[in-house]
Structure 1
Amino acid sequence: MFTGIIEETGTVLSIRKGGHSAVVTVSASAVLDDLKQGDSIAVSGVCLTVVSLVENSFSADVMHETVERSNLLNLNIGGMVNLERAMPLNGRIGGHIVAGHIDGTGVISKARKDENAIWFTVRTSPAILRYVIDKGSIAIDGISLTVAGVSENDFSVSVIPHTAQNTTLGKKRVGNTVNLENDCIGKYVEKLLCAPGGRSGISKEFLARYGF
């Protein structure tokens, strides 16, 4: 479990690709402080398991499912990634609850400056947009952000200077692909309210029966 508050950016040292998987090695500093083999770490929003550690880097496996849903295999050697260690139970949730399980990707369709902020518009699929709400939370490349606008085809966020300077988002350009994770609360609520077959169990009759 993560919070979407990025601790540092790391540099991709190598990507060893298999048929449908890969091993990625990333150089870092701050996150290595207490990182151990077997620990979880979010790499640009993707929850990965550390399989090996050396003095200034770690390696993690990227499975087939992750390859299908994220942009990790589009990374280049020398490219930057956002890094966050798993949330400690005694820590603050400065962002929102982020699982590190990517729902899919989006493409930056617009980027514009607004005084000291940067507005990004991200085009993505209806399957992701159905859970995106105005003033709700979304993780973009692992960064916890507040949705500032939603349309049928895209959504927008406003990024403060600190976030732009201390994550990879400030270096993104129109046409770049980003990893997206919806706020999990909406998905759980939908699942619990829907009966088998996808029909909602809530109706006017149901509410009237119980005094609403």
Structure 2
Amino acid sequence: MEILRDAKSKGIVEELGTETDVGTVEDGFEMTINASVALDGVKLGDSVAVNGTCLVVTRTSLGDIVPRSLVKFERSLQPTSRLGGHFVQGHVDDTGTIVSMYKENDSLWIKVKTCADILRYILPKGYIAIDLTSLTVLNVFDDELAFNFMLVSYTQQKIVAPLKSLGSNVNLEVDIMGKYVERLLVGYTTRGAQT
């Protein structure tokens, strides 16, 4: 399957596909993924996001994938779709590293370390896409350059984050609204300084 750019989505769980083959090609790699639900109605040329990646960016966690890995698979958002979660573009902003995971009853708490350039867009009760899954941030730890989130039992069964271990990388995409606001404010400040 050829996967094209700009796989806009909602960040809502659709399906876990299974990676059956990973091979290198000139200037990149090629993946074969088995899926069923997320392929319904998909035709050549359509966009599909895999673990939050539209596969045209240069830094993702997809390099860690080996055959038989489960990956989050989601078709692109259509104008007639019900909206939930938040708008996720499949443009990975950076990767983060899982620094802690622990169970509390049926819930799984995960803490991810990132960089200051990404953490500035992350706030408690805000949204973050982890491998294209729209999740709510619970706490931000500025001094550790980290944040955490919690997964209920149902979500743990449907996404790839719980299958990862300490030290694993995850793809991060921050809420684009924060970027727009920042750009508008910086642009206004810059124009104001020039007059």
TM-score normalised per structure 2: 0.88
Matched, 1:190 2:182: yes
Q: Which secondary structure does the structure 2 equivalent of 1:31 belong to?
A: helix
Conservation of the 8 A alpha-carbon contact between 1:163 and 1:170: no
Percent of residue pairs bearing the same amino acid type = 39
Deviations 1:149-171 (A, max 9, x none): 00121000011111101111221
Matched, 1:25 2:17: no
Q: 1:96 aligns with which of 71, 77, 86?
A: 86
Q: 2:147 aligns with which of 129, 152, 155?
A: 155
Q: Hey, what's the Cα distance between the residues in 1 that align with 2:111 and 2:78? A: 32
Alpha carbons of structure 1 residues 188 and 115: separation in structure 2 relative to 1, 3 Å: same
Q: Hey, what's the Cα distance between the residues in 2 that align with 1:95 and 1:102? A: 17
Deviations 1:88-116 (A, max 9, x none): 21212221110110001001000111222
Deviations 1:22-71 (A, max 9, x none): 22111111112111001011100012xxxxxxxxxxxxxx44xx2x3201
Conservation of the 8 A alpha-carbon contact between 2:10 and 2:77: yes
Q: Hey, what's the Cα distance between the residues in 2 that align with 1:38 and 1:157? A: 34
Q: Which secondary structure does the structure 2 equivalent of 1:134 belong to?
A: coil
Q: Which amino acid aligns with 1:101?
A: H
Q: Hey, what's the Cα distance between the residues in 1 that align with 2:82 and 2:117? A: 31
Q: Which amino acid aligns with 2:14?
A: E
Alpha carbons of structure 1 residues 161 and 26: separation in structure 2 relative to 1, 3 Å: same
Q: Which secondary structure does the structure 2 equivalent of 1:97 belong to?
A: coil
Q: Which residue of 2 aligns with 1:174?
A: 166
Deviations 1:111-160 (A, max 9, x none): 11122211100001111101001110000011100000001210000111
Alpha carbons of structure 1 residues 200 and 41: separation in structure 2 relative to 1, 3 Å: same
Gaps of 5+ in 2: 1-7
Matched, 1:5 2:12: yes
Alpha carbons of structure 1 residues 157 and 201: separation in structure 2 relative to 1, 3 Å: farther
Structure whose residues are more often strand by fraction = 1
Q: Hey, what's the Cα distance between the residues in 1 that align with 2:101 and 2:109? A: 6
Q: Which residue of 1 aligns with 2:67?
A: 77
Q: Which secondary structure does the structure 2 equivalent of 1:46 belong to?
A: coil
How far the C-alpha of 1:18 sits from its partner, in A, is: 3.0
The 4+ residue runs of structure 1 with deviation greater than 2 A are 199-203
Q: Which amino acid aligns with 1:17?
A: T
Q: Which secondary structure does the structure 1 equivalent of 2:138 belong to?
A: strand
Q: Which secondary structure does the structure 1 equivalent of 2:180 belong to?
A: helix
Gaps of 5+ in 1: 48-61, 204-212
Q: Which secondary structure does the structure 1 equivalent of 2:137 belong to?
A: strand
State the Cα RMSD in Å.
Answer: 1.8
